[in-house]
Structure 1
Amino acid sequence: MPIKTFPLGPLETNCHLVHNGRTAVVVDPGGAPRPVLNYLEMQGLTLTHILNTHLHFDHIYGNAALAAATGAPILASAGDAFLRQTELGKGGAFGFPAVDDFTSIDLEPGEHRFGDLACTAFATPGHTPGSLSFYFPEEDTIIVGDLIFYRSIGRTDFPGGDLEKLRASVRDHIFTLPGKTRILPGHGPATSVDDETRNNPYFGDFAV
């Protein structure tokens, strides 16, 4: 299953598109989705679902437009619903644009099929209470939003953030995956379970 990444929106949030040549899912459309729509059309793909790792504004800017253009439903954790009523979810502050309103369906952790694609949604709180990570076993890849980055971790000083919960989420659901598993974060370059287990300074005996 190829995975295509598009940095979108004012914070160049990584929007990840996973497909098998027929159907596709998009995770975190953080800006105007025209590049995503162009790719879907060029590859002849049907978008079946729009997934959100969490509901901070920079990960959801493109939700409404992408759903309107494709008819795909938007899925997100109910644990982050409260963010839709805050600046972090609505946007519109600090010079950032407001988020267009959209309707989402609550997504529970567990095994799912999105179109033809098998996926496990892990509950990985810490950056936000409802953060989800999406593991695509056939591709040896997990999409983690702002949970963990290359040699770093997501912020926990926003409302609902919790450093110890974040560390537990990484240890329980990321570092238990096969070492070759690719980690696709919400910002910055891809990394791997092996690399972060060995080198991330927020874990291990000398954790920051």
Structure 2
Amino acid sequence: MFVIVRHGNTFERGEPPRRIGVRTDLPLTAAGHAQAEALGAHFAAQGMAFAKVLVSPLARTRQTAEAILRHLPGSPSPLPCAWLREIDHGPDENAAEDAILARIGAEALAAWDAQGVAPPGWEVDAEARIAAWQALFEEEKGPVLLVTSNGAARFALLAAGLVQGQESPSGLKLPTGGYGVIHRGERGGLTLAEWGVRP
């Protein structure tokens, strides 16, 4: 079992959201901390236990993982994982959505959300990300907790051949403070149990 978590909120209520990537290391807001605590309590209530915990290097993901693990005593220490890092939005880093749409157009943004196709100027390295997820699915027996960001999490579905819209209606995107679960069967087949769940 692979439980993939997106970090909690990094914008205060009423603050216009922006595209924040690897170059902007924002901490969680109070609401983001509450989301992370809710994830931990939710996993504890379900009796989840993890053999390995992998975390993106950014503060928002590390803080989310720390909050979750407070609810799961006996869990292994989180390991920093470079390939879980957020993408680089290039010229759109820290920009508001309307400015990004004006630059790249709605079709480019829709292709990113539905298929993981990076808009012009974004640094993603989709092939390497997909290969890293595939290696994880093949090599790890689990259960594994992965705490990352929206830009990185979507490639789990692509790597597993579980493209949203077929298995689930919410697209590739995970909401902040949300998670998804991918199961590997005894013969290695991957199935999507949940995606976009927010406790």
TM-score (norm 2): 0.32
TM-score, with normalisation over the residues of structure 1? 0.31
Q: Which has the higher helix share?
A: 2
The structure in which a higher percent of residues are strand is 1
Which structure has the higher relative contact order (CA within 8 Å, separation 6+)?
2
